[in-house]
Amino acid sequence: MPEPIIELRGVTKTFGGLTAVNDVTFTVNRGEVFGVAGPNGSGKSTLFNCITGIPFGPSGGEIRFDGVRIDGIPPHKIFRAGLSRTFQKDAEFPDLSARETVALGGHYGAGLGGKVLEQASEEALDLVGFELSRRDMATADLSVYGKKQLMIASALVSKPAILMLDEPASGLTRPEIAALDELLMRVNRSGVTILIIEHVLGLLLSVSQRLLVLNQGSVLTEGAPQEVIRDERVIEAYLGSAAA
């Protein structure tokens, strides 16, 4: 029997007269990879912001994490409850090493310290496949894919129950996207639920058990990925827009 970990009911976000997210309802089950797609401006990142409270929460509706209502709760408390996220733009500390960057996230984000922090940082780097030989390199010297690995490791250092990824494939080559696919599957097999926004449809179709498509802030459709992409509304709103 599926066990809900994230539940959204009628979530709405308005900015003055603009409705960026409109009455969005869906459930993410524990242990799954749930994908969110949609054309530019469809409300995907705004939806993520509403869930995590960074930098704002919803204007209306209800969000539950592990059965507890979290809309209105400070973002740091949501994070420490077990919900971690990445952003479209990689947060980078150019002069810090990979180890130091992940440790920074573990210390300030999750309040870890000492040997516990050191072990958690190494485990997170192991999980994303970050080689030992690169862990003392300055972040500025890493490849685009290396920085993506580091960003995900920094989100995993707190050992979250759910990892929310905002367009992690942005800027990657095809071989790197294939490597990211394997990385995400490895993270998911470790017991982490994944909620992912992505423009690279091939990655979403490969990793997601269910796929939701947004258009103009509203849910267009939701279901098994292969069924969703055959929906004429999706072809028109998302694939048609991408082809244009």
pLDDT, one tens digit for every residue, the chain (244 residues): 889 999 999 999 999 999 999 999 999 999 999 999 988 889 999 999 999 999 999 999 999 999 999 998 999 999 999 999 998 876 678 899 999 999 998 888 788 899 999 999 999 999 999 999 999 999 999 999 999 999 999 999 999 999 999 999 999 999 999 999 999 999 999 999 999 999 888 999 999 999 999 999 999 999 999 999 889 888 887 555 444 3
CB 21 within 8 A of CB 217: yes
Q: What is the bridge-based pairing of β-strands 193-197 and 60-65?
A: unpaired
Query: pTM, whole model, 2 decimals?
Result: 0.93
CB 157 within 8 A of CB 120: yes
User: Starting from the edge strand earliest in sequence, which strands make up the sheet with 210-215, in order?
Assistant: 83-85, 162-166, 193-197, 33-37, 210-215, 218-223
Q: Does the 1-82+161-244 domain belong in CATH 3.40.50.300?
A: yes
